């Protein structure tokens, strides 16, 4: 009798001899639940992939950590050796970042953001992945090499091809001089050669120019100071432990890449879980189909219920039988949907079925996360289990109540026989 509710539930779901409308509705409900579960896995994996692409793109010009000024815009050069001594094995790259005006000899000026870097920057970040030439260059034909963002190059209309590389003029305001009084003398100008192209994303490409560190120091008069230090941390050191080792004081602080891109990651997470919530509501709607099929099944099996009660099956056992049927429908449908979603994501990862033309990635990015799969299955089972159990409890008690009342009347009459005349 203990396993009887499970056997009844399994028979009502997978019965081969009975293929009436109720079983058809149950099959449709199972398919809908599976489709929603597969969609949830695929959508959550897509958001994971987008997050990875964002992290990868911004990692081209950002190391995992950065030491930045708490106030002001500069840090002393002496801080770099201090960081290297405090974190053995770390790669520390000084960076000078300022705005400047870039133009061709006879062209219109373009306002750009100049990053002054050296070879250590390529070690601390994934810079070379975004360079068209594949390697960082500091000098070209005896002049400082300027690596232009793809958008900057297109706006200037210059070439970076071998002997046709364009000579450009970079101008920056001289500190302490008034533009109104000094005019063009308020700007310091240096000639550079456009020798490579940087391609990361549309925003960075439209405003960025990479320049050798010494040339940037000279242009912006930054002798002895830098804007920040990009740091590739040694293995096994977390940011909290590094901050304790560095003891930077009030002038500087340690900033992680995730902290810098916090808004982008927070937006992506919010979109991910909002989509998860919307798909969960669709799953609730699908669960109503299961409840409807269970209701019709209970109505159809009233005679069977009476027979089962006659042989001693209790009302609670009947509740378990029909509740287990709802759980089986959700488990089979949800399990099949999860398998389909996992295969879909793995296929997109390995074969790139959905290609993206003209994008920074060749195909739509996805990444399967075990936690997402568990979460989807938990939602499927919770919705199915709670909904089915509550609905079945009400219906079964309604149908078994008359039988209980009739049995109670028979017992009372046997205990209290009518007096004889």
Q: Hey, where are the domains in the chain?
A: 4-57+264-415, 65-256
Q: Which two three-digit tokens encode residue 242?
A: 């590094």
> Which three-class secondary structure state does DSSP give residue 100?
strand
Nearest to 87 by CA among 231, 190, 292, 229: 231
Predicted pLDDT of residue 412:
45
Burial of 416 (C-beta count, 10 Å sphere; 0-12/13-18/19+): exposed
The DSSP result for 184-245, as a single string, is GGGEEEEEEEEEEEE-S-HHHHTTEEEEEHHHHHHHHT-TTEESEEEEEPPTT--HHHHHHH
Q: Which two three-digit tokens encode residue 103?
A: 């133009």
Burial of 394 (C-beta count, 10 Å sphere; 0-12/13-18/19+): exposed
Predicted pLDDT of residue 411:
47
Q: Which residues of 213-234 are buried (b: 16+ CB within 10 A; e: fewer)?
A: bebbbbbbebeebbbbbbbbbe
Predicted pLDDT of residue 180:
54
Q: Which two three-digit tokens encode residue 354?
A: 């959905």
Nearest to 54 by CA among 278, 412, 358, 360: 360
Q: Has this prediction a pTM greater than 0.75?
A: no
Q: Return the C-alpha torsion angle 400, 405, 411, 414, nearest 10.
A: -130
Q: How far is CA 402 from CA 314, 396, 398, 405, in A?
A: 14, 11, 8, 5
Could you tell me what percentage of the chain is helix, strand and coil, using 3-state DSSP and rounding each to the nearest 5?
Answer: 55, 20, 25
Q: How many CB atoms lie within 10 A of CB 298?
A: 22
Predicted pLDDT of residue 405:
47
pLDDT values of the chain reduced to their tens digit, one per residue, 421 residues: 446 666 665 666 665 555 566 677 777 878 888 998 999 999 999 999 988 887 777 778 889 899 999 887 899 999 999 999 988 999 999 999 999 999 887 778 899 999 999 999 999 998 988 898 888 989 887 889 999 999 999 999 887 765 667 889 998 988 766 555 655 667 888 999 998 999 888 888 999 999 999 999 999 998 889 999 999 998 888 888 887 878 787 889 988 888 888 888 888 889 998 998 998 888 888 777 777 777 777 777 777 777 777 777 776 777 777 777 778 888 888 999 999 999 999 999 999 898 887 666 788 999 999 999 999 999 988 877 777 777 777 777 776 655 544 554 454 455 556 565 4
Q: Which two three-digit tokens encode residue 165?
A: 């590389």
Three-point CA angle 70, 76, 78, nearest 5°: 125
Predicted pLDDT of residue 324:
78
* Chain-centroid distance, C-alpha 363: 16
Three-point CA angle 362, 366, 368, nearest 5°: 150
């Amino acid at each position: 009798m203990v396993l009887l509710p499970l056997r009844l539930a399994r028979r009502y779901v997978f019965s081969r001899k009975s293929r009436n409308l109720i079983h058809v509705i149950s099959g449709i409900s199972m398919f809908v639940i599976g489709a929603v579960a597969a969609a949830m896995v695929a959508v959550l994996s897509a958001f994971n992939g987008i997050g990875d692409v964002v992290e990868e793109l911004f990692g081209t010009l950002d190391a995992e950590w950065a030491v930045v000024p708490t106030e002001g815009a500069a840090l002393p050069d002496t801080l770099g050796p201090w960081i290297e001594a405090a974190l053995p094995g770390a790669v520390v790259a000084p960076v000078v970042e300022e705005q400047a005006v870039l133009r061709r000899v006879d062209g219109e000026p373009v306002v750009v953001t100049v990053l002054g870097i050296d070879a250590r920057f390529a070690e601390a970040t994934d810079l070379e992945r975004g360079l068209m030439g594949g390697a960082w260059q500091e000098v070209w034909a005896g002049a400082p090499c300027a690596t232009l963002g793809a958008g900057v190059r297109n706006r200037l209309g210059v070439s970076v091809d071998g002997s046709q590389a364009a000579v450009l003029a970079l101008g920056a305001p001289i500190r302490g001089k008034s533009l109104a009084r000094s005019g063009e003398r308020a700007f310091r100008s240096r000639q550079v050669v456009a020798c490579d192209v940087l391609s990361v994303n549309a925003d960075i490409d439209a405003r960025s120019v990479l320049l050798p560190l010494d040339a940037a120091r000279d242009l912006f008069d930054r002798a002895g100071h830098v804007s920040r230090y990009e740091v590739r941390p040694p293995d096994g050191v977390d940011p909290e432990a590094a901050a304790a080792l560095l003891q930077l004081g009030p002038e500087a602080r340690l900033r992680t890449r995730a902290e810098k891109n916090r808004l982008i990651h927070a937006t992506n997470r919010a979109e991910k879980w909002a989509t998860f919530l919307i798909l969960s509501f669709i799953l609730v709607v699908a669960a109503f189909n299961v409840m409807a099929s269970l209701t019709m099944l209970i109505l159809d099996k009233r005679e069977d219920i009476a027979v089962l009660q006659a042989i001693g099956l209790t009302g609670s056992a009947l509740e378990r039988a029909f509740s287990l049927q709802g759980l089986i429908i959700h488990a089979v449908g949800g399990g099949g949907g999860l398998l389909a979603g996992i295969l879909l994501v793995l296929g997109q990862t390995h074969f790139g079925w959905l290609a993206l033309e003209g994008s920074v990635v060749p195909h739509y990015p996805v990444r399967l996360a075990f936690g997402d799969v568990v979460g989807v299955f938990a939602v499927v089972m919770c919705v199915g289990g709670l909904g089915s159990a509550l609905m079945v409890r009400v219906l079964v008690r309604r149908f078994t109540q008359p039988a209980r009342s009739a049995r109670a009347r028979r017992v009372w009459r046997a205990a209290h026989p009518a007096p004889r005349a």
